[in-house]
Amino acid sequence: MSQPIIEKIMVGKPKSYGQKEAKQPMDREWTSAIVKEAVQGKVWAGKTNIHGDGQADLKHHGGPEKAIFVYPISHYDYWQKKLQKNDFTIGAFGENLAVKHITEADLCIGDIFHIGEAIVQVSQPRQPCWKPARRWKVKDLALQIQQQGMTGWYFRVLKEGEIQAGDYLRLRERPFSEWTVARCNDIMHNQKHDLELAARLAACELLAPNWRNTLSKRAQVGDKLDIRNRVIGPNE
């Protein structure tokens, strides 16, 4: 396998789109930082985000557990064919790092990587919300992302520092080889009735707290989580 590498680094600030009085939900006004632009040269990877980046919904995005959103470039061939959108390419999901030679199957919760001057750690898979669907006018896009397991993932930043496109992701530690990002996605979204498996994953101390809490509740009372507000939201 080739060494994982950053192809592009992207940042953006919240902006509003659509029309307030639009009749169709998908055309109504919404605010997001999902549209990002590539950064040239070195950029600071901080504890809560990459310098110049921002989030519109700080309750569900950003913060120490979601400091950097990473997405594999290799997935875009699938999405272009599936959605019949040639412009659905790097940056379509609002990622901060577009990376080559690595996917959800190749890294695990708690993996520590050196990238440039920074040290980062895999914290959780991304759980897609309704905003990519609104951006691309594909109402069930979040559900498709979950079903395919092509979610991308988040890094928490253990050591701040400068990074840039062309930096390699150099694996330094793998404490939980059992829990690949791909497997975590499968457990969360496809194996909802396996309560024992949910409890085992919830016990992974380096998994982000929100995932651990969700899985712990599932292990105790079964899957009672209504995801429609997250994946469809105001798009209907």
Question: Residue 199 in 3-state DSSP?
Answer: helix
pLDDT above 90 (res 61): no
User: Angle 209-221/181-189 helices, nearest 10 degrees?
Assistant: 40
Q: What is the mean pLDDT of residues 94-112?
A: 98
In the chain, domain spans: 5-235
pLDDT above 80 (res 164): yes
As a whole number of angstroms, the distance between CA 101 and CA 173 comes to 18
Confidence band of 224 (pLDDT split at 50, 70, 90): confident
User: Tens of pLDDT along 119-157?
Assistant: 999 999 999 999 999 999 999 999 999 999 999 999 999
Confidence band of 1 (pLDDT split at 50, 70, 90): low
Find all residues with CB under 8 Å of 159, minimum gap 6, and list them: 117, 118, 119
Confidence band of 60 (pLDDT split at 50, 70, 90): low
Confidence band of 55 (pLDDT split at 50, 70, 90): confident
The rounded mean pLDDT for the chain is: 95
- Rounded to two decimals, what is the model's pTM? 0.96
The backbone region for 94, taken as left when phi is positive above 0, alpha when psi lies in -120 to 50, beta otherwise, is left
Q: What is the mean pLDDT of residues 171-191?
A: 97
Q: 97 near 71, Cβ under 8 Å?
A: yes
pLDDT above 70 (res 52): yes
Overall fold of domain 5-235? M1 Pyruvate Kinase; Domain 3 (2.40.33)
Selection from 87, 90, 11 nearest residue 43 by Cα: 11
